[in-house]
Amino acid sequence: MGTYIVRRLFIAVPVFFGITVLSFLIMNLAPGNPVDMLINPNIPKELLELKRERLGLNDPLYAQYANWLSGVLQGDLGYSFSSYAPVSRLIGERIGPTLLLAAASLLFGLLIAIPVGVISAVKRNSKLDYFLTGITFLGISIPPFFLGLGLIYVAGIQLKWLPTGGMTTLGGDGGAGDVLLHMILPVTVVGAAIAGKKVRYVRASVLEVLGQDYLRTARAKGLRELAVTNKHALRNALIPVIAVVGAEIPLLLGGSIVIEQVFQWPGIGQLTMEAILSRDYPILMGLNLIAACVVLLTNLLTDVLYAAADPRITYG
C-alpha cells in the first residue's frame, strides 16, 4: 500500500501542474482584467497603463505563469490585486468556515442517506420503500438555493426560530453555540441535497449485495436479519458508495459558492465571487490550487478506503 501511495503521489505532480496551466490560460482568456475594473473618466490612461505594468499584466502569459509558479514553489501565493493583502492569509481566513460547513453537511447527509437507503432496500417494493423513494426524488428535484430561500423565509423571517445568515451574531460572543445555531439552515440545505443523491446509491448497492450467496449462508447459520444486514451486507455495499462520496467532496467545496451567497456564510465561496467580479487573478489561482489539491488527495483517499472496506482489494 505504501508503494502504491508514493507512486500515486508522483503521478499527481504532472497532473497538478497541468491543472494550474489550464486554469491560468482559461482565466486569462476571459474578457476583462483587474485594471478594467478601475476604469472611470477621471483616471488618465497613463496611470492605467502604469498600473498594468506594476501588476505584470503586460508580460507574456508564460512569463506571468512562471512568476506565479516560482512564488508558489517558495510558499508564496502572491498578493491580491484589489486589497493588496497576501492571498494565503485571505484564503486561510475563509477556508475554515467552508470546511466546517462542508464537513457538517456531508456528515449530516450521510447520516440520513445510509440508514434510509438500507431500510429502502430491505423493505423493497413496499409502501415504505415507495415513500422513501418519493422523498428522495423530492430532495433531488428542489434546487438548493430555492430550498435555502424557502427555509430563510419560513424559519428565519416568519417563525424567527433561526438566524437567516452569517456565521455569528453581530455583537454576540461568537461562541460555539452561536455558530452551531447559524449552521442549522445551510447544513440542512446542503445535507438534504447530499442525502437525496446518495440514498439511491446506497439502496442499489444494498440490493445487489442482499442477493449474494454468502448472505444466504449467514442466514442459514441462524444469524438474525439485523446482524446479516449490518455486519455482512452493509460493509460490502458501501464500497461503491465510497467512490460516490469521494467524488462529492470537491463538488461540495465548489458548490459552496451558491450556498454561501444565500446564507452570507464567510467562506471561500464568497471570496471566489469577489475575486471573479474584480478579476483578482492571484486569488483565483490560489483557489484553483487548493481545488486541484483537494481533487487529487480525495481520489487517493478513496482508493485507500477501498482497501480498508474490502480486504480482497490490494494494490501492487
| Domain of residue 171, residue span | 87-309
Number of neighbouring beta carbons within 10 Å of residue 313: 12
Q: In the 8-state DSSP scheme, what is residue 165?
A: S
Number of helices followed by number of strands (H, E) in the chain? 12, 0
In the block, residue with C-alpha cell 434546487: 143
Model confidence at 63, pLDDT cuts 50, 70, 90, reads confident
- 171 conformational bin, left if phi > 0, alpha if psi -120 to 50, beta if neither: left
88, 284 Cβ separation under 8 angstroms: no
Model confidence at 177, pLDDT cuts 50, 70, 90, reads confident
Give the pLDDT mean for 305-310. Answer: 67
160/212: higher pLDDT:
160
Give the pLDDT score at 164. 82
Model confidence at 308, pLDDT cuts 50, 70, 90, reads low
Residue type, 192: A
Give the pLDDT mean for 33-46. Answer: 68
4 found inside a domain: no
Give the pLDDT score at 310. 62
60 found inside a domain: no
**Grid coordinates given for 177:** 453555540
- 269: domain CATH number is 1.10.3720.10
Query: How would DSSP label each residue in 65-119?
Result: HHHHHHHHHTT---B-TTT--BHHHHHHHHHHHHHHHHHHHHHHHHHHHHHHHHH
Give the pLDDT score at 40. 62
54 found inside a domain: no
> In this predicted model, what pLDDT tens digit does every residue of 104-132 receive, in sequence order?
888 898 888 888 888 888 888 888 888 88
Model confidence at 232, pLDDT cuts 50, 70, 90, reads low
Tell me which range, 34-43, 207-216, 264-273, is most confidently predicted by mean pLDDT: 264-273
Give the pLDDT mean for 271-291. Answer: 85
41 found inside a domain: no
Q: Is the pTM of this model over 0.85?
A: no
63 found inside a domain: no
258 found inside a domain: yes
303 found inside a domain: yes
188 found inside a domain: yes
Tell me how far apart the alpha carbons of residues 145 and 260 are, in angstroms, rounded to a whole number: 10
Percentage of residues of the chain with pLDDT beyond 70: 84
Q: Tell me whether residue 264 is exposed, middle or buried, using C-beta atoms within 10 angstroms of its C-beta: 0 to 12, 13 to 18, 19 or more.
A: middle
Give the pLDDT mean for 36-40. Answer: 63
Is the per-residue pLDDT at 316 higher than 60? Answer: no
To the nearest whole number, what is the mean pLDDT of the chain? 80
Give the pLDDT score at 144. 82
Overall domain count for the chain? 1
